[in-house]
Chains A and B, each alone.
Chain A
């Protein structure tokens, strides 16, 4: 009788844990990099074989967008408000690049940093893996936004 009770107890525990909204975090880019041996460089990464490139995996903007869209850490209204603010910032970058100025992109660094901080504060508790990925991609994203050619290829 006791093993049966124990079995039921374990099953209930497993059921409760499974239904408590626990979601297996998708493997982050850094996780993937940790699993990959440093000598195994694939695809486009072959061309960028600097020591920095080996440490930092290439930024996958599409994957990051998907993860932000799919995360359960933030609700629908918050996602929409974030999207609105991201679109507004992208518009500012677009205007800057269209103006043809060579200087002045530094003025967009503060609003960019503020937005990244807002996103991090919103997701860090509910989706720490995503927060780590965003934090680790911060400079790479800035590099894309600040460079006219890269910006035009992404947007």
Chain B
């Protein structure tokens, strides 16, 4: 019985630990999503390496090739990737 109790004591915290996706996993999913949408809209990027959230469904995506895009949902409900001027 003691062993079972110990097992439960281990399992419950582990279940809590693994219950939801980690922030890192969410970030990876977002970067993949941004990479896909930029590709789908025919913009050169390669791969999105980082992203900054500007607001609801509004991100600045930085690509491996150095280009940056504002990816957002327009008022008309379209996914838009808008090329940003690179910082000097």
Q: Which residues of A contact B (CB under 8 A)?
A: 1, 4, 7-8, 11-12, 15-16, 18-19, 21, 74-78, 80-82, 84-85, 118, 122
Contact = CB atoms under 8 A, between A and B. Distances in A.
Contact of B37 (A1, A4, A78): A78
B30 interface: yes
Interface string B1-19: 0011011001100110011
A118 B36 CA distance: 10
B33 A11 contact: no
A11 B30 CA distance: 30
Nearest to B80: A81
B7 A78 contact: no
A15 B22 CA distance: 15
Contact of B11 (A1, A11, A78, A81): A11
Chain B interface size, as a band, is 20 to 34
Contact of B79 (A15, A16, A84): A84
Per DSSP, are chain B's interface residues mostly helix, strand or loop, or mixed? helix
Given A11-B7, A75-B34, 4 more contacts: A4-B7, A7-B7, A84-B78, A85-B40
B64 interface: no
B50 to A, nearest CB: 16
Contacts, number: 66
Interface in B45-66: 57
Given A4-B7, A8-B7, A85-B40, A15 B18 contact: yes
Contacts of A8: 7, 10-11
Contacts of B37: 75, 77-78, 80-81
A81 B3 contact: no
Nearest to A17: B18
B24 interface: no
Given A4-B3, A15-B18, A21-B21, A77 B79 contact: yes
A4 B74 CA distance: 56
